[in-house]
Amino acid sequence: MIKPRRSEECDHCQRFSGYLSAEYLVCAVHPLGPAEIPCPDFAEVVGQWEPLGAGYYDCELVLQPEHYLTTEERLEILETHPLFTGVCPKCGATIPGEDLVHWDCAVCGWKDDSVV
């Protein structure tokens, strides 16, 4: 098996596939990575560049946590967090969702610790 190679500029290129692993294609133009460095087909990302595993939300760069949640952990959040249910997971009180940053319960004192 031929190992694809990447240059330092690959992850800043519009054609980069986003895969860091050696078994996937590097880009649409050079599936095994650029033959020359610097790459003659480099197309710089215009606008907001985001590192792999991050994204922009409300114009703010949000990095993914180092610990990725399992499928079970994600489902538990979807089934219990007030953002999705509208109720406190501890006491069942309704938590209004208008412009909230922290989903804390005023009735029982449950604190949303999912936001850093």
Q: Of 14, 29, 96, 45, which Cα lies nearest the Cα of 107? A: 96
- Residue 99: both structure tokens together: 């412009």
pTM greater than 0.75: no
Q: What is the DSSP letter of 65?
A: P
Q: In this predicted model, what pLDDT tens digit does every residue of 78-95 receive, in sequence order?
A: 899 888 898 999 999 998
Counts of helices then strands in the chain (DSSP H, E): 2, 2
> b/e for 42-65, b at 16 or more Cβ within 10 A?
beeeeeeeeeeeeeeeeeeeeeee
Residue 116's pLDDT band (cuts 50, 70, 90): very low
